[in-house]
């Protein structure tokens, strides 16, 4: 189907495709270079401005109304586990929790250290300055953990969010179990920062922070647009990239959602694909032509392959301690103790993070007792008081899953968008080593939770495994060898000198902790190289 009739041409030095958090990092860095014309193209809509968010939150509370209207595109329902359907200015990070740990040094050397997966072409030390840069852009509030577990070149830009009374108690419990824990780093202002308010820690972040204390990419876009350092073109879908005989990308071909019959041709010296783990590979595959039937940047055949993420095991633990649930419930303790482990003598492989939260699970007032008998009046209060003499903790460990090559994004011939372009299809698959270790790994984690409960004189109430892979990444993995990777360590595609892919898609493996800070650090590292090309 081809119903495009008119054409506009727009020129820039750098054309960034997508306006999520990784695109915001690249534009932030390039935007410092005066005289560079940066155009950012976003398929989705703009988001409500900060001054409307208190009212949006109120309507959410009163009427259960979505405070983020139009944050996804109709007609883009795809097959496979999608982290979120959000497509709009700021991308998924308009809804994120702002949890921002770094990977650990081992994550970049899995093959060398443990004999599983693949090594990255960069080390933790290469990324350390870019981690710091990302932490500064977002204003990360963090506590330095024990340096042997939590290495970093420089201190966090903001002091840690203080631990609540509950987390202080739970930290003592973890310590009895021999686990050193500290405050999870967060993209929430522990003091006013960069023109944004201090987080008041009253836990209304989900689904909207009404005061802008949590970093989201719209703040970067507002500034760049206001200062005329970048142009943001919304409601505009890039459908394909075209390449000349020398392999240089010459144009991004796009269409506006509200003027679908007009083709817009973006010409630029450099093109940056920042569409996240789904749409980056999708755009490269969709840009196939007679010369490149496999799509762009795909001489290795690896575009869309090695999608990665981590699974988790979680449990609720009853503890003989008085807790007061509801004090900033989403903030947690974290440790990297189990990410920094040596190779096991038995050849098995398990690395994971560990977090502890207060929980109100089973702690609310109720009308019926355990036997199902109706309670009335003072009996309700008596029962409630009795049950809250003990506290409940939630514990969760993300563990490392090694991706298989067939963990992949492909084009779905059966589902098409309004222009007739195939939508993507996703399938996450573990490498054989992770398939073999899965039930053993999950048993190990359940046994750890049992040991922790015992150390605190408590019991595990229940445990569960989330079957999806969180913080998905991959699809255009980086490497030094063009035969086994899509980009170099800077995100420059091996096949096309002026085409970069940034952030999540370039990851080789997904570590075992929240990964967006790493996507941002990688994007800032890419931006350093992109700046040299314009």
Ligand X SMILES: Cc1cc2nc3c(=O)[nH]c(=O)nc-3n(C[C@H](O)[C@H](O)[C@H](O)COP(=O)(O)OP(=O)(O)OC[C@H]3O[C@@H](n4cnc5c(N)ncnc54)[C@H](O)[C@@H]3O)c2cc1C
> Which residues bind to ligand X, rule: CB under 6 A?
17-23, 41-44, 83-84, 87-88, 91-93, 95-99, 237-238, 274-276, 279, 283, 471, 503-504, 514-516, 519
Measured from the CB of residue 158, what is the shortest distance to ligand SF4 in angstroms?
A: 13
β-pairing, 6-17 vs 38-41, is parallel
CA gap 504, 26 in Å, rounded:
13
Interacting partner of 309 out of ligand X, ligand SF4, none (Cβ under 5 to 8 A depending on kind): none
| Cis, peptide link before residue 207, omega less than 30° from 0 | yes
Cα dist from 317 to 202, 394, 458, whole Å: 24, 6, 7
Find the length of the chain.
534
CA gap 372, 367 in Å, rounded:
9
- Enumerate residues 219-258 that contact ligand SF4 by CB under 6 A: none
Interacting partner of 263 out of ligand X, ligand SF4, none (Cβ under 5 to 8 A depending on kind): none
Measured from the CB of residue 310, what is the shortest distance to ligand SF4 in angstroms?
A: 24
Measured from the CB of residue 82, what is the shortest distance to ligand X in angstroms?
A: 9
Using CB under 6 A as the binding rule, whether residue 305 contacts ligand SF4 is answered as no
Using CB under 6 A as the binding rule, whether residue 367 contacts ligand SF4 is answered as no
CA gap 33, 14 in Å, rounded:
12
State CA 244 to chain mean position distance: 34
Measured from the CB of residue 332, what is the shortest distance to ligand SF4 in angstroms?
A: 13
Which residues does 80 contact at the CB level (< 8 Å), separation at least 6? 409, 424, 425, 426, 427, 428
Measured from the CB of residue 201, what is the shortest distance to ligand SF4 in angstroms?
A: 5
Interacting partner of 87 out of ligand SF4, ligand X, none (Cβ under 5 to 8 A depending on kind): ligand X
Measured from the CB of residue 214, what is the shortest distance to ligand SF4 in angstroms?
A: 4
Alpha helices in 139-291 (DSSP H): 165-176, 217-226, 276-286
Measured from the CB of residue 215, what is the shortest distance to ligand X in angstroms?
A: 11
Measured from the CB of residue 11, what is the shortest distance to ligand X in angstroms?
A: 18
Interacting partner of 91 out of ligand X, ligand SF4, none (Cβ under 5 to 8 A depending on kind): ligand X
Using CB under 6 A as the binding rule, whether residue 213 contacts ligand SF4 is answered as yes
Q: For residue 179, what are its two tokens?
A: 């686990």
Using CB under 6 A as the binding rule, whether residue 199 contacts ligand SF4 is answered as yes
CB-nearer residue toward ligand SF4: 9 or 200: 200
Interacting partner of 205 out of ligand SF4, ligand X, none (Cβ under 5 to 8 A depending on kind): ligand SF4
CB-nearer residue toward ligand SF4: 193 or 306: 193
Size of the site for ligand SF4 (CB under 6 A): 12
CB-nearer residue toward ligand X: 354 or 437: 354
CB-nearer residue toward ligand X: 18 or 142: 18
State the DSSP code for 45. Answer: B
| DSSP state letters, 114-147 | HSSS-B-SS-HHHHHHHHHHHHHHHT-EE----T
Interacting partner of 19 out of ligand SF4, ligand X, none (Cβ under 5 to 8 A depending on kind): ligand X
CA gap 218, 224 in Å, rounded:
10
CB-nearer residue toward ligand SF4: 177 or 211: 211
Using CB under 6 A as the binding rule, whether residue 209 contacts ligand SF4 is answered as yes
In the three-class reduction of DSSP (H, G, I as helix; E, B as strand; rest coil), residue 423 is classed as: strand
CB-nearer residue toward ligand X: 87 or 317: 87
CB-nearer residue toward ligand SF4: 200 or 259: 200
CB-nearer residue toward ligand SF4: 163 or 499: 163
CB-nearer residue toward ligand SF4: 201 or 446: 201
Which residues does 17 contact at the CB level (< 8 Å), separation at least 6? 23, 41, 238, 252, 271, 272, 273, 274, 275, 283
Q: For residue 484, what are its two tokens?
A: 């086994």
Interacting partner of 139 out of ligand X, ligand SF4, none (Cβ under 5 to 8 A depending on kind): none
Contact between residue 349 and residue 106 where contact means Cβ atoms under 8 Å apart: no
- Encoded one letter per residue, x for contact with ligand SF4 by CB under 6 A and - for no contact, window 167-196 reads ---------------------x--------
Query: In which element (H, E) is residue 415 found?
Result: strand 408-416
CA gap 306, 431 in Å, rounded:
9
> What letters, b where the CB count within 10 A reaches 16 and e where it falls short, cover 183-215?
bbbbbbbbeebeebbebebeeebeebbbbbbbb
Interface residues toward ligand SF4, by CB under 6 A? 188, 199-205, 209, 211, 213-214
């Amino acid at each position: 189907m081809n119903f495009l009739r008119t054409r506009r041409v727009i020129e820039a030095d750098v054309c960034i495709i997508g306006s999520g958090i990784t695109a915001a990092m690249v534009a932030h860095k390039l935007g410092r270079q005066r005289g560079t014309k940066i155009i950012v193209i976003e398929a989705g809509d703009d988001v409500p401005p900060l001054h409307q968010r208190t009212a949006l939150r109120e309507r959410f509370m009163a009427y259960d109304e979505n405070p983020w209207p139009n944050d996804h595109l109709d007609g883009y329902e795809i097959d496979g586990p999608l982290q979120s359907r959000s497509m709009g200015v700021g991308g998924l990070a308009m809804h994120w929790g702002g949890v921002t740990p770094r990977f650990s040094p081992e994550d970049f050397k899995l093959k060398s250290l443990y004999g599983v997966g693949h090594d990255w072409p960069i080390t933790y030390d290469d990324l350390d300055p870019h981690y710091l840069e990302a932490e500064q852009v977002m204003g990360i509030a963090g506590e330095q953990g024990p340096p042997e577990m939590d290495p970093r070149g420089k201190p966090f830009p903001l002091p840690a969010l203080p631990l609540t009374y509950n987390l202080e108690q739970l930290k003592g419990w973890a310590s009895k179990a021999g686990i050193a824990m500290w405050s999870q780093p967060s993209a929430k202002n522990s003091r006013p920062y960069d023109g944004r308010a201090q987080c008041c820690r009253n836990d209304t972040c989900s689904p909207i922070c009404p005061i802008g204390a949590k970093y989201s990419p719209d703040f970067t876009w507002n500034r760049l647009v206001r200062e005329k350092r970048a142009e943001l073109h919304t409601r505009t879908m890039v459908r394909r990239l075209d390449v000349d005989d020398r392999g240089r990308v010459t144009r991004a071909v796009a269409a506006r959602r509200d003027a679908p019959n007009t083709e817009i041709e973006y010409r630029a010296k450099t093109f940056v694909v920042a569409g996240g783990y789904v749409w980056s590979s999708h755009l490269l595959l969709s840009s196939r032509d007679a010369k490149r039937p496999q799509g762009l940047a795909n001489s290795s055949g690896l575009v869309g392959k090695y999608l990665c993420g981590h699974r988790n095991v979680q449990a609720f633990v009853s503890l003989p301690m008085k807790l007061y649930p509801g004090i900033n419930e989403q903030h947690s303790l974290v440790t990297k103790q189990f990410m920094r482990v040596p190779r096991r003598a038995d050849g098995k492989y398990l690395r994971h993070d560990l977090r502890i939260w207060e929980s109100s699970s089973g702690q609310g007032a109720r009308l019926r007792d355990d036997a199902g008998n109706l309670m009335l009046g003072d009996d309700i209060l008596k029962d409630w008081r009795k049950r809250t003499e003990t506290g409940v903790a939630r514990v969760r460990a993300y563990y490392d899953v090694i991706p298989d090559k067939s963990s992949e994004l492909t084009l779905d011939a059966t589902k098409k968008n309004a222009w007739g372009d195939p939508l993507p299809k996703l399938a996450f698959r573990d490498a054989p080593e992770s398939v073999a270790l899965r039930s053993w790994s999950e048993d190990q984690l359940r046994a750890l939770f049992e040991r922790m409960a015992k150390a605190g004189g408590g019991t595990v109430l229940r445990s569960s495994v989330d079957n999806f892979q969180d913080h998905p990444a991959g699809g255009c993995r980086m490497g030094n060898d063009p035969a086994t990777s899509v980009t170099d360590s800077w995100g420059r595609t091996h096949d096309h000198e002026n085409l970069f892919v940034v952030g999540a898609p370039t990851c080789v493996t997904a570590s075992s902790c929240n990964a967006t800070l790493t996507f941002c650090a990688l994007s800032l590292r890419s931006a350093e190289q992109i700046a040299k090309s314009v």
